Structures are given as structure tokens and as C-alpha cells.
């Protein structure tokens, strides 16, 4: 089925752009930690380990090249979070941006929430393309004139100026989390949002910074009884009373805020029993859910654990309706992946605009797409080698058996330092943003 | 990259190293990651224990003093281990020497002269940390009868706990919370030290508030939380209480490794000796565990 967000069976992906340094030597501050399109897809935000947010804006489609959707160029860059030191706890608080969430646009300005481990900030991004000129008491450079020299009066007027995009922090939501924040999610009421750390979830009002409601608290009375932590949380896309949170044990709990103020009792719990044949030393690690995302329709949700992507029907708690293996060939390598810490990598996942395809990242700068309708999957690579403009991406394959075919890559040759943890899909079109360690790749559907 | 000596011992060693290195990571200890690592520890230990069921004979959990001192030198060389020793807490129930004792609490049968704080042994404790010294004095004066004194295979778990949500310092004994651990009037600044908000001396590396490490000691039984606690089954240890490192590293788990002579277990030895050193310094029979959660 062709069309925006159509099946991957007939969609060919082309390289469009790559952002970031070409250097092989990656500065840690430049490591991309989150990627998010806004609700129209016109803006694409990235956050990095250095606490910076970079926003790209899509150029309007040019009439000259109707085949090509607009390019994304830098729109605004600002320092969202700085490193902090908590003297009471003798702790350094990283400035790394863990999540960015856009608010729907209500006026000329754009708003987004960005968070590090402890503090959430609401940023206003606004354009200024006019400036007032012709003040009576001020010179053009800002110096004040001596009132005695003013002999005539004039009315200041606005004159056009070069576009300036300003980012200003409008709200700072601080001191509500003892543990590390892993998620923020804006409610469909567009008034509230939640923030989740390892043990608690808080509900905020966007206008109110000095208090929040604690709606989930899984901290046990005796910490020795701790067996799981919260790993991700999200609001339902259109039911403003419903949210889900995933755990390190591989469960997802759905809560209804109408039931009680503290949603410790879940309305639904989604869990798939473990396959005893696959039991290993690392079973708990690989079942930990790293991301949970509702479908746009709100009927399904998707979870990502270390080896697979699962689609759940919200009406069925006992098992997922679909399971896609991302890189099953890693199952026999878990010990090595534990040693080099890769087993703790938190991969994200995303839906396309019409929920027919899901995407997630892997190693060696590979990323995977699963077409739910056609039951097909494809592995693509984000690399500078394939970065000729509009060059079509060739599907990649990892050889798992003994014989490696030409163009296949063996498991042992995979580069585990090149991981794609963050991907995002344009809400309407077949445009995807894929983050390697410090580069952002933008791919578009090949249009004829 | 994919080659790996895959066995339980190796995994335990690797896991301990991960926990150790996580303490120096920027941003504080990651609760999630460390929780997952303790799962691996538990699984590896379970596997190892099940493989070695025939070797259930309990040897003395700790080596003699001379061997400990030898390893002590090993530890001195690695600064990070010293720091780790500040953070890891464990019961001491085995051999000790009077140069190591810090803190007055003494086990049964110990000569009285070890009841004083030995300044040299306490060198790792930042002397400017007056709060901590006060706390130690409190503990040292605690009524012995209120403690389970350390003999092998008994439990004596005492922790000072800083709850970072409420900023209240309390003591936990065997899972119980005491609102005032040092109620006896003879103690200097008894309950006060626990009631007031704790000043944090940044020169002293108190355990990261996000990460909770319970004591571990060489006790095979689960700590009894209450007489009628239904979780008295020691098997409960190995099922879901993964954060209870007693079940993983204590209960004879790590101590059994002491008897191994393999050199590639140096890491495990070092990790265990850290515990030894710390408890030797803090006195036998109780833990100076400052956990913040």
C-alpha cells in the first residue's frame, strides 16, 4: 500500500542529510541523547550529552523540486541544562538531555520540555524578524540621548531585520525527583505532563512549578525489597486519564488517574511469561523494557527490550500481539555484551504516522524497520559511505549461519561502539531522523 | 570481541567491578543498572552454589590476619578500592587485629583493648567529618545486648540510614527502623546525632543516595524482619530480593571464594577484602553502613 507511511515493501529510503561533525574523534558532549519531531514535523529537536538542544526546521518545499521534501536546517541552538552539583548528596548532576517533548503549537511561538536527570524545563522558542527603530530617547545602538538634545518627536516604527530565533526558559520544574528522570510525557489535555524517575512518577501542571502530584511510587518501605524500577512512562494519546509505565522486569502497567490519586494499583498489567528455554544469567537484563510508545491511534503500544520489539493490544494483557526480533543473533553473545556494558544500552522505538511500520536501532549503525501489515522487515545503515544525496539505502544483512554471503556482515564484525539508540519518524511523511553517536541522519522516502 | 570465558566466577568478578566503577561515574550511581547487575550476581551465585552443593562445609569465612594484611597492601595501592571501602558495608565476624579496629563495639570474647578507636586504622575516615565521628561514638556506646554480636553464622546488621526524601537519619537493625538508636543517656550526643539533619562532608564519600547497598555478611539465613514475618524462609533470599546483597555476596556466597587459590580470582578477593578492611576498621559485629535512599 503506497502513500505516506506506507508499507516498507515498496518504500525505498534515500539519504537526505547528515548533521554533526565528521570527526571520528567524538567529543562526549556532542553525543546525541534524544531526538524528537514536533507535532507537524516541521521542527526536529535533538538533545546531547552536553546539555544542548539543537532545533532544525524544515524548509518549505520548493516549487522547483517538488520531488524533494524540504531540507532541515538549524533553526535554534541553546544550552538547556548545565552541570550541577548537589552538595547535600555529594552528587554531580549530569547536564545530559534525557528527553525532549514538544507541546502542540498554540500561538506563534513553539514550546518544548527538556529534561536532564533532575530538572525539567519549559522552553519558548520564538522568532523575531522585526525590530523597533526611531526611539526618541535612545540612539540606535542603545545609548540614551540627553533629553535636552531632543528637539522633535517621532513615532518609533518596526523595521524588518534578519530572522532571530530566541529560546528562553519559561518554567523550571525542579526538586521533585530524588532518582534519575527517564521520561517526560505531555498529556493530551495539553495542560499537564508527567515525569518519571526510577521509582516515582509525578504529575505537573505546565503553569505551576512549585509543586507536583506524585501519582506512582514504587519505592518499597525497605529498599532491600526493591526488585524493579520504572524505565519509561507515557500518556495515552487521547485519553487524558490514562498512562502507562514500563519496568525493568519487562512489565507494563496501565493506570487510570480517575481511580485514585495515587496510581499504585494498576488498571492493567501487560506481561509476557518468560520462555524457560531462554533462561540465562542475563534474562532479567534483556527483559528490561527500555522504551514504551503508544501508537498514534491509541489502540496499541510498543515496547522495546534488549533483543526485541513487542506490540501490545491494549485490550490484551497476557501477551503481545506481535513480536519482532531486532538482533536475535546477539542472544549467544550476551556475556560479552555484559562485559562491555552494551547489554545496558537503552534502545528507543517509534511508530510511523499511520502505525503501519515501527522502527528501532541496533549496532553497527544499523536500524531496523518492521512493516506490520506486510510482515516484512528491513535493516538499513546510517553511515557516511552511503551519504550521497538522494542515494538509495541498500538493505543490510547480518549473517548468522556458517556461510557468509557476499555483502553480508558477520556478527563478529559488528561495531558495538556504533549504536543507534534514538530514532524518530515524521508524524505525517516518510521522513526519519536517525541518531548515531554524534551525527544525525535524515532519510526520506524516494519519490518518483 | 566475542570471546569470553563464560563461567559464574568470572561473572561475579565482572559484576563486582561494575558496581565498583559505577560509584565513580558522573551523575551518581544508576539505580537501574546496578539493580540489573545484582540480578546477574544472584544468578551467577545460584548457579555456582548449585554446582557446588557437595562443598557445603563451611570453613571459617575469613583468612587469618597475616593474609588479610597482605591483601591490605594490595588495597592500599588502589585508591579507588579505599573509596569503595568507605561505601561497602559488611559485617565482620572473623579474624581481626587490634590495629584495624576502629570503633568500640566488640564481639564476644574480644579483649577490651580493641574497644578504642585506633587513629591509624581510621585514617580513611576524613577527620573533619565530625558528624560521622559522633555517630561512631554513639554506636560504640550502644548497649551490647541490643546488638547481635558477631559470631559466625549470626546476623548483626545495623545500618544508619539517611533517607534523602525526608532527610531523616535513622537506624535499621535487622530490617527494623529505630527512631532513636542511642537512647541511653550515657552516650555523648546520643539521639541528637540521628535526629538532626545530617551535614554532608563532601570530602567523605558517603554512599550515593540513589544506590542502596545493604550489608552483606556471612550469614546463611535471611535477616528476620519480625517474628511473625512470613518471609522467614531462607530460600526467599534467592528468589526476588535481589537487592539484598546478603543473599548474593554474603551468606557464604563470596566467602567461599576465599578458599580458592586461583589467581584469576584476584578481583573477587580484592572485593571481599575490601569488606574485610572496612569492617576491620569499623569494628566487629556491626556495620557503619550509611545508606541513603
Say what the pLDDT of residue B10 is: 87
Residue-by-residue pLDDT tens, chain A, 448 positions = 333 344 456 789 999 999 998 877 889 999 999 999 999 999 999 999 999 999 999 998 877 766 667 899 999 999 999 999 988 878 899 999 999 999 999 999 999 999 999 999 999 999 999 999 999 998 888 889 888 888 999 999 999 999 999 999 999 999 999 999 999 999 999 999 999 999 999 999 999 999 999 999 999 998 888 999 999 999 999 999 999 999 999 999 999 999 988 988 899 999 999 999 989 999 999 999 999 999 999 999 999 999 999 999 999 999 999 999 999 999 999 999 999 999 999 999 999 999 999 999 999 999 999 999 999 999 999 998 878 888 899 999 999 877 778 889 999 999 999 999 999 999 999 999 999 999 999 999 988 7
> Edge-to-edge strand order for the sheet containing A300-304?
A291-294, A300-304, A308-313, A322-325
CA distance B147 to chain A (A): 20
Nearest to B32 among A87, A89, A198 (CB): A198
Q: pTM of the predicted model, to two decimals?
A: 0.70
Say what the pLDDT of residue A404 is: 77
CA distance B254 to chain A (A): 18
Helix (H, G, I), strand (E, B) or coil at B246: helix
CA distance A25 to chain B (A): 21
CB contact under 8 A, B26 and A335: no
CA distance B104 to chain A (A): 27
Note the pLDDT tens digit of each residue in B121-153.
Answer: 333 333 333 333 333 333 333 333 333 333 333
Residues, chain B: 293
Contact of A417 with chain B, judged by CB distance below 8 Å, is answered with no
Contact of B178 with chain A, judged by CB distance below 8 Å, is answered with no
> What dotted CATH number matches A13-445?
2.130.10.10
CB contact under 8 A, A178 and B30: no
For residue B154, pLDDT beyond 50: no
Mutate to test the interface with B, among A94, A224, A231, A246 (most CBs of B within 10 A): A224
CB contact under 8 A, B40 and A224: no
Nearest chain B residue to A90 by CA distance is B202
Predicted complex ipTM: 0.91
Contact of B50 with chain A, judged by CB distance below 8 Å, is answered with no
Nearest chain A residue to B7 by CA distance is A335
Partners of B208 on chain A (C-beta within 8 Å) are 89-91
Beta strands in A134-264 (DSSP E): 157-173, 181-186, 192-197, 200-205, 208-217, 230-235, 242-247, 252-256
Note the pLDDT tens digit of each residue in B41-95.
Answer: 999 988 888 877 655 544 444 445 554 444 443 333 333 333 333 333 322 222 2
Say what the pLDDT of residue A10 is: 77
Judge contact between B35 and B68, C-beta under 8 A. no
CB contact under 8 A, B26 and A94: yes
Judge contact between A101 and A185, C-beta under 8 A. yes
Beta strands in A59-136 (DSSP E): 72-79, 84-86, 91-93, 99-102, 110-115, 120-133
CA distance A122 to chain B (A): 22
Q: What percent of chain B has a predicted confidence (pLDDT) above 90?
A: 8
Amino acid at each position: 500500500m503506497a502513500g505516506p507511511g506506507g508499507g516498507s515493501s515498496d518504500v525505498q529510503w534515500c539519504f537526505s542529510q547528515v548533521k554533526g561533525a565528521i570527526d571520528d574523534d567524538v567529543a562526549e558532549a556532542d553525543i546525541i541523547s534524544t531526538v524528537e519531531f514536533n507535532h507537524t514535523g516541521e521542527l526536529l529537536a535533538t538533545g546531547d550529552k552536553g546539555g544542548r538542544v539543537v532545533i532544525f526546521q524544515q524548509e518549505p518545499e520548493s516549487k522547483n523540486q517538488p520531488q524533494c521534501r524540504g531540507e532541515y536546517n538549524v533553526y535554534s541552538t541553546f544550552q538547556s541544562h548545565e552541570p550541577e552539583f548537589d552538595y547535600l548528596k555529594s552528587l554531580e548532576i549530569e547536564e545530559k538531555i534525557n528527553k525532549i517533548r514538544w507541546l502542540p503549537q498554540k500561538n506563534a511561538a513553539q514550546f518544548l520540555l527538556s529534561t536532564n536527570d533532575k530538572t525539567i524545563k519549559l522552553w519558548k522558542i520564538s522568532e523575531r524578524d522585526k525590530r523597533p527603530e526611531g526611539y526618541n530617547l535612545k540612539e540606535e545602538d542603545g545609548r540614551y540621548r540627553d533629553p535636552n538634545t531632543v528637539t522633535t518627536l517621532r513615532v518609533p516604527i518596526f523595521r524588518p531585520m534578519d530572522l532571530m530565533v530566541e529560546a528562553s526558559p519559561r518554567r523550571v520544574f525542579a526538586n521533585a525527583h530524588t532518582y534519575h528522570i527517564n521520561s517526560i510525557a505531555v498529556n493530551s489535555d495539553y495542560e499537564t505532563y508527567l515525569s518519571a524517575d526510577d521509582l516515582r512518577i509525578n504529575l505537573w501542571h505546565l503553569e505551576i512549578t512549585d509543586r507536583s502530584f506524585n501519582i506512582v511510587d514504587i519505592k518499597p518501605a525497605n529498599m532491600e525489597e526493591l526488585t524493579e524500577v520504572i524505565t519509561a512512562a507515557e500518556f495515552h494519546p487521547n485519553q487524558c486519564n490514562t498512562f502507562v509505565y514500563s519496568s525493568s522486569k519487562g512489565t507494563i502497567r496501565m493506570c487510570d488517574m480517575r481511580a485514585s490519586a495515587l496510581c499504585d494499583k494498576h488498571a492493567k498489567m501487560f506481561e509476557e511469561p518468560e520462555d524457560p528455554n531462554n533462561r540465562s544469567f542475563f534474562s532479567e537484563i534483556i527483559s528490561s523494557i527500555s522504551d514504551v510508545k503508544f501508537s498514534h491511534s491509541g489502540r496499541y503500544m510498543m515496547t522495546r527490550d534488549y533483543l526485541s520489539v513487542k506490540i501490545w493490544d491494549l485490550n490484551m494483557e497476557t501477551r503481545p500481539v506481535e513480536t519482532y526480533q531486532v538482533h536475535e543473533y546477539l542472544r549467544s553473545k550476551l556475556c560479552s555484551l555484559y562485559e562491555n556494558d552494551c547489554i545496558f544500552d537503552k534502545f528507543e522505538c517509534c511508530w510511523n504516522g499511520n502505525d503501519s511500520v515501527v522502527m528501532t536501532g541496533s549496532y553497527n549503525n544499523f536500524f531496523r524497520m518492521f512493516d506490520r501489515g506486510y510482515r516484512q522487515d528491513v535493516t538499513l545503515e546510517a553511515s557516511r559511505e552511503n551519504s550521497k544525496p538522494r542515494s538509495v539505502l541498500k538493505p543490510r544483512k547480518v549473517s548468522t549461519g556458517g556461510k557468509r554471503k557476499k555483502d553480508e556482515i558477520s556478527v563478529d564484525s559488528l561495531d558495538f561502539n556504533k549504536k543507534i539508540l534514538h530514532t524518530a519518524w515524521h508524524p505525517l511523511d516518510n521522513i526519519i531522523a536517525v541518531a548515531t553517536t554524534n551525527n544525525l541522519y535524515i532519510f526520506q522516502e524516494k519519490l518518483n | 570481541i566475542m570471546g569470553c570465558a563464560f563461567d559464574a566466577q568470572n561473572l561475579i568478578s565482572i559484576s563486582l567491578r561494575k558496581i565498583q566503577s559505577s560509584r565513580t561515574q558522573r551523575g551518581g550511581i544508576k539505580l537501574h543498572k546496578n539493580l540489573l547487575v545484582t540480578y546477574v550476581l544472584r544468578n551467577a551465585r545460584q548457579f555456582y552454589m548449585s554446582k557446588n552443593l557437595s562443598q557445603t562445609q563451611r570453613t571459617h569465612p575469613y583468612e587469618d590476619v597475616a593474609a588479610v594484611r597482605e591483601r591490605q597492601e594490595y588495597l592500599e595501592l588502589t585508591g579507588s578500592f579505599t573509596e569503595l571501602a568507605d561505601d561497602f558495608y559488611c559485617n565482620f565476624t572473623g579474624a581481626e587485629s587490634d590495629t584495624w579496629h576502629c570503633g568500640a563495639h566488640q564481639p564476644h570474647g574480644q579483649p577490651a583493648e580493641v574497644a578504642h578507636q585506633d587513629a591509624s586504622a581510621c585514617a580513611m575516615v576524613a577527620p573533619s567529618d565530625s558528624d560521622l565521628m559522633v555517630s561512631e561514638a554513639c554506636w560504640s556506646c550502644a548497649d551490647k545486648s541490643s546488638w547481635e554480636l558477631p559470631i559466625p553464622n549470626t546476623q548483626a546488621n545495623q545500618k544508619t540510614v539517611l533517607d534523602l526524601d525526608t532527610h531523616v537519619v535513622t537506624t535499621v537493625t535487622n530490617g527494623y527502623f529505630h527512631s532513636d538508636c542511642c537512647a541511653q543517656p550515657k552516650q555523648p550526643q546520643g539521639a541528637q546525632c540521628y535526629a538532626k539533619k545530617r551535614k554532608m562532608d563532601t570530602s567523605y564519600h558517603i554512599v550515593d543516595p540513589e544506590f542502596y547497598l545493604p550489608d552483606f555478611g556471612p550469614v546463611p539465613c535471611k535477616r528476620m524482619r519480625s517474628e511473625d514475618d512470613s518471609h522467614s524462609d531462607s530460600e526467599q533470599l534467592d528468589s526476588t530480593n535481589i537487592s539484598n546483597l546478603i543473599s548474593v555476596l554474603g551468606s557464604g556466597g563470596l566467602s567461599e571464594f576465599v578458599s580458592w587459590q586461583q589467581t584469576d580470582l584476584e578481583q573477587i578477593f580484592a572485593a571481599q577484602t575490601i569488606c574485610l578492611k572496612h569492617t576491620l576498621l569499623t569494628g566487629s559485629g556491626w556495620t557503619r553502613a550509611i545508606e541513603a535512599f
